[in-house]
Amino acid sequence: MTDRTSAGGDAPDGGPGDDRPIDPATARRYVAGHIGLFALTLGHALLTWPLPEAAALFLGGVIIAFAAEAPSIRAGLFTHYLRPTVAGVPVSILLAWPAVVYLAVRVASLGVDGAVPVAATAAVLATLADALVEPGAVEDGAWAYSERIPGPRPYGVPWWNAAGWLVIVFLTALLPAAV
């Protein structure tokens, strides 16, 4: 990861003395992108899906994302540097998860039918998309992974990140069928 650490303290707002490895302008772009993606996908879902299914995926997706991210952060597996956060999890990350799952579900449903096949296909699609995005986010300093779990780290991203994506996306993608 490129060292973008500034000298000084630990200002939580990205101001002077902030010791996050991501520069404030890049952090703002990530947060704006996550929020924009959430707004666009939620808007699309509300226009094209029944409300209970859209609510299940987007609200349930935020809950599942938090349930996965917060304990992983507490365990020291990775650190997020985007702000603001809830229990160490950036709010924009919580919004990005269901947005990405929604897109993957919509694409998956073009090729397969049934809740489980769609969820499985969506999990693979979203995980592949993350494999393209994740190395850049690590390089930019948006988050960093610890060395606690050994194993391959292609492009600086540990193998277990993909495993987590597969599980989280699969579970989230099943939510609309549960209502």
The tens digit of pLDDT for each residue in 99-142 reads: 999 999 999 999 999 999 999 999 999 999 999 999 999 999 99
Q: Residue 141: left if φ>0, alpha if ψ -120 to 50, beta else—which one? A: left
Peptide bond into 117 cis (omega under 30): no
Asked if residue 16 has pLDDT above 70, the reply is no
**Across residues 62-77, what is the average pLDDT?**
98
Output the pLDDT for position 18: 52
Question: CA 4 to CA 124: how far, in whole Å?
Answer: 33
Domain residue ranges in the chain: 24-178
